[in-house]
């Protein structure tokens, strides 16, 4: 029957561990979201460059074959 006596002490001892765990998980999630946003932005930039190259390349080809 010693277990009920120690629950409050165990809770006090484990509270910092739980807090740091929750904080760490929150920070990791935030960093993961930032990394995904950065990767998505880079992919969108690459796709935009490809579309721009296609647009200029197609316009140049049409002008060369027409003339």
Distances (CA, A) of 48 to 15, 41, 44, 56, 62: 49, 10, 6, 12, 21
Report pLDDT for 67.
Answer: 45
Binned average pLDDT, 10 residues per bin, the chain of 67 residues: 74 89 97 98 96 80 52
Coil, helix or strand for 2? Answer: coil
Q: How far apart are CA 11 and CA 6, in angstroms?
A: 9
Report pLDDT for 59.
Answer: 62
Its pTM stands at 0.59
Enter the DSSP assignment of 1.
-
């Amino acid at each position: 029957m010693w277990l009920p006596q120690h629950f409050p002490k165990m809770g006090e001892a484990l509270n910092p561990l739980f807090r740091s765990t929750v904080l760490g998980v929150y920070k990791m999630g935030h960093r993961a979201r930032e990394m995904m946003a950065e990767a998505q932005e880079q992919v969108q930039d690459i796709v935009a460059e490809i579309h721009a190259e296609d647009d200029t390349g197609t316009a140049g080809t049409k002008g060369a074959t027409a003339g």
